[in-house]
Structure 1
Amino acid sequence: KDWREIGYAPRKVNAKIFRRYRAACDRFFNAKNDFYQSIRGELEENLQKKIELCERAEAMKDSEDWRETTPKMIAIQHEWKEIGMVPRRNASRIWRRFIAACDHFFEQKKVHTKSIREKEAENLKLKTEVTDKIKNIDTSLPAEEAVEILKELMDEWHSIGFVPFRDKDRSYNELTKAVDAQYSRLNIDKSERKLDSFKSNISEMTKSDHSRGQVFHERNKLMRQFERIKSELQTYENNIGFLTTSSKKGNTLLDDLHNKVEQNKAELELIVKKIEAIDENIED
């Protein structure tokens, strides 16, 4: 515009100055054209990347594997933010497509989580009621009948399901306290108490996928413990064969070894029952 408004230059330099001016303009507009060509290519490339993200999000939007899919959907959202702009004519449409898939998944997860929380709250109420029943077992019942009722109530408590995480330990501790009180009242054998307590722990652990590895670790630990105690038992039994009872000291050592033998046998029996309890829960 400024060039046109200036007017003519002297004829002898007019053509030369115009060619110089035109060359500068051409260089600029050619560079501008190249720039926008590269930008258009980048925008189209970004569009293709975002279309691929839409397809990935749509493929997962109906998944109910919340634990596995949630981090994948979050990762896709981070990828989206890093890609950059797309052609303006496509920007709104591709965004609506992407956010619709993401919103669908997270809305379904929200509904699922709400139902889980409601179920866990109901489970807590039911477990509390069972614990109260354990506390209030009729003291006039024969011991054998009371033990049977106690074990049935313990099985009922463990069959109920998960409670809110913040209440898990408190609920379990209340059960343990109530059961221990009944065991003490009914004079239940200490090893039987240990076994029932162990079964309760294993039952809780096998309900969670995260804890199943701990269950197998516990089984391996028990197997090693079994072999160690079995070896000790053989040593004690061999030593008994070498001792004589001709002296008071000999009698004392022999009695001590016999006690250790009986103690080891009882421990081995308890370990076997614990391993069987683990195997039963794993099979279930």
Structure 2
Amino acid sequence: MSSDPWGRVDEQGTVYVRTAEGERVVGSWQAGSPEEALAYFERKYQGLSAEIGLLEHRVRKTDLAAKDAQTTLDHLREQVAEAHAVGDLAALGQRLETLAGEIETRQGERRAAKAKAQEETRAAKEKLVTEAEQLAESTQWREAGDRLRALVDSWKALPRLDRKSDDELWHRFSHARSVFSKHRKAHFATLDAERDQAKAVKERLVAEAEALSNSTDWGDTAAAYRDLMARWKAAGRAQRDAEEELWARFRGAQDVFFQARSATFSERDAEQGENQKLKEALLVEAEAILPITDLKAAKAALREVSERWEAIGHVPRDAKPRLDARLNTVERAVREAEDAEWQRSNPEAKARATGMTTLLQAAVDKLQADLDKARAAGNASKVTKLENELAGRQALLDQAQKSLEEFSG
């Protein structure tokens, strides 16, 4: 018989393992010595110990799932309880119980971590839903649309919650997106209608612009184009392609008209520039009339200048006032000389002047005679009165005689 601290082999070759509850048969050995029998069953014990060691390593050093660890633990418990091995089976059992506690602790930690992760996921999804619901009323169509698509990507990247919670939050999230999409579609439908209306208005404006493009009524047509441009701006925008095509036609019609007007004005400006030079030369001739010494010759010269002036035609607008002012100066001088000549040769005026002078001369002569008598009589007060009257009448007489002399000039 052979034995060691954890087992023995009896004379019949039966192998026993010692436990706290007593000895238990683990097998029999007939092929060799008792030592070899014990060594064989000890190796089985070491195999169990190695399997437990492997589980210890996986539980403590890897991310082995608690469920898988528990399954392996339960299997090893059965093997240890029924082990056909010799060794400290109680120690193996204790190691398994220690592992059981560690697995339970890990399960608790994982449940807590899972619960925390679920709460974090719930909070993250609720935040996404809240933002989506705010964006649902936005009219910043591009920015809000881009942001909602980004929120969908963020939602997909998050883990699922329990089915009820996840479905409820997704329903709110999806509803917010639908509301935004409905509002956006309505907006763009209205916008399309407005653009169709703008297109119709602008097509009519283009037709009007093209009808005016060959007009030579420069002033009225230019005003008409200004009115068309104001109506174009007020019409709003059509769809991009239509807007660009209509605008090209509208501008093209304007360009035809304004280029033709510009060419005409350039030709007219050149002609009027030459007219200005001719009129400036005429002004030199007209101004040579002054000062007037021979009214008849001056009138004849001015008449010839005026006829040639009118025949020349228009000058540039900015030069016209200055040129006209110089000619008017000559014309005014001739008119004033003519008026003065008329006054000198007017028989009725000369007769009136002669009559007035005669009457005043008679009045002066009478006052002088009365004054001489008053002086001779020594009537001082009458002398003073007559002297004042005589002075006033003499002044009037002098003025009348001067006017009469002008008719004799």
Task: Give yes or no for TM over 0.5.
Answer: yes
Q: Deviations over 1:13-49 (max 9, x none)?
A: 6654433333333322322332232122111111111
Aligned counterparts of 1:164 and 1:102: Cα–Cα separation in 2: 27
The alpha-carbon deviation at position 180 of structure 1 amounts to 1.5
> Within the alignment, does 1:57 sit opposite 2:160 as a pair?
no
Aligned residue pairs, count: 192
> Within the alignment, does 1:37 sit opposite 2:118 as a pair?
no
The alpha-carbon deviation at position 166 of structure 1 amounts to 2.7
Equivalent positions of 1:143-162 (< 5 A) are: 143-162=218-237
Aligned partner of residue 136 in structure 1, secondary structure: helix
Native 8 Å contact 1:54 1:97 kept in 2:
yes
The alpha-carbon deviation at position 114 of structure 1 amounts to 2.5
Q: 1:20 to 1:116 in 2, by over 3 A?
A: same
Q: What CA RMSD, in Å, does the superposition of the two structures yield over aligned residues?
A: 3.4
Native 8 Å contact 1:44 1:87 kept in 2:
no
Q: 1:13 to 1:101 in 2, by over 3 A?
A: same
* Stretches of structure 2 lacking an aligned partner (at least 5 in a row): 1-73, 267-317, 319-409
Q: Decide which structure has the larger Cα Rg and report it.
A: 2
Match of 2:183? 108
Match of 1:83? 158
Equivalent positions of 1:175-214 (< 5 A) are: 175-186=250-261
Higher share in strand: 2
Q: 1:184 to 1:60 in 2, by over 3 A?
A: same
Q: Which amino acid aligns with 2:223?
A: E
> Within the alignment, does 1:26 sit opposite 2:101 as a pair?
yes
Q: Deviations over 1:120-175 (max 9, x none)?
A: 23312321221111112397884433333232222212211112123333222111
| Identity in percent | 17
Higher share in helix: 1
Moved over 6 A (4+): 138-141, 188-191
> Within the alignment, does 1:69 sit opposite 2:144 as a pair?
yes
Q: 1:140 to 1:101 in 2, by over 3 A?
A: closer
Aligned counterparts of 2:156 and 2:165: Cα–Cα separation in 1: 16
Q: Deviations over 1:225-283 (max 9, x none)?
A: xxxxxxxxxxxxxxxxxxxxxxxxxxxxxxxxxxxxx9xxxxxxxxxxxxxxxxxxxxx
Q: 1:138 to 1:93 in 2, by over 3 A?
A: closer
Pairing partner for 2:193 from 105, 113, 118: 118
Native 8 Å contact 1:47 1:87 kept in 2:
no
The alpha-carbon deviation at position 8 of structure 1 amounts to 4.8
Q: 1:140 to 1:89 in 2, by over 3 A?
A: closer
Aligned counterparts of 2:139 and 2:99: Cα–Cα separation in 1: 63
* Stretches of structure 1 lacking an aligned partner (at least 5 in a row): 192-261, 263-284
Once the two structures are overlaid, the 10-residue window that deviates more, 150-159 or 74-83, is 74-83
The alpha-carbon deviation at position 67 of structure 1 amounts to 4.3
Native 8 Å contact 1:134 1:153 kept in 2:
yes
Once the two structures are overlaid, the 10-residue window that deviates more, 137-146 or 105-114, is 137-146
Q: Which structure's relative contact order is higher, taking Cα pairs within 8 Å and 6+ residues apart?
A: 1
Q: 1:164 to 1:190 in 2, by over 3 A?
A: farther
Q: Which amino acid aligns with 1:170?
A: E
